[in-house]
Structure 1
């Protein structure tokens, strides 16, 4: 069995994106048995000039819908505001706030999901 996660990153090495302002999210699939990780694609978000701080509710909902379209069950971001987090979790997507190397964040999420049965 496998599961999909989204990671807010610009460079593919570090978790760099704040959820509301995030412009780039990688979609990864993790095999629960082998821990093999596959990059499936990415979501690139275009922020309009009037969006300002990136907290436009429609834009946040568009990101969430994109995650749902990819069957993402969790998102790893550097930071997320309480309103955005509520919107994400209300849609059945778990949030992990993490700053650092993606590989370290993936270790944490794999340990978390090892304890869960799909």
Structure 2
């Protein structure tokens, strides 16, 4: 089964964008073999500005990522995190190269598949449900 991952990136090279400030997300696919491929560059309406978020724009950004299982972001606020979780998307705060973060996520998914069938996302689990060894630079535990 292929899993889609939304990545918040300013430059396309690093996970370095706050969820609410993102005007686009790079959508990657991770195959069962662990290979990753860029599927699309998806524009969204920026949800935050000057420290405030626009509820409608936040919901629209989360809805735009509803076909993804995970979102990799530099930072995410609690309202955005909950909006994503409500749609079955688990958010992870991380930083560093996109390929490295995706590789670690793919490795974790591979280990999970070998132990049991992957569980569906739990909407009550929010930031960082993957063990800490996944996160290149965890900001929350």
Q: How large is the Cα RMSD of the aligned pairs?
A: 2.0
Structure-2 separation of matches of 1:54 and 1:23: 16
Judge conservation of contact 2:14–2:97 (CA < 8 Å) in 1. Answer: yes
TM-score (norm 2): 0.72
Structure-2 separation of matches of 1:42 and 1:111: 24
The count of corresponding residues between Structure 1 and Structure 2 is 114
TM-score (norm 1): 0.85
Structure-1 separation of matches of 2:40 and 2:74: 20
Higher relative contact order (CA 8 A, sep 6+): 1
* Structure 1, gaps ≥5 residues long: none
Q: Give the corresponding residue for 2:130.
A: none
Structure-1 separation of matches of 2:4 and 2:46: 24
Q: Give the corresponding residue for 1:60.
A: 58
Q: Runs in 1 of length 4+ with deviation above 2 angstroms?
A: 45-48, 50-54
Q: 1:94/1:6 Cα in 2 relative to 1: closer, same or farther (>3 Å)?
A: same
Structure-2 separation of matches of 1:54 and 1:22: 14
Question: Which range is displaced more, 53-62 or 7-16?
Answer: 53-62
* Structure 2, gaps ≥5 residues long: 119-141
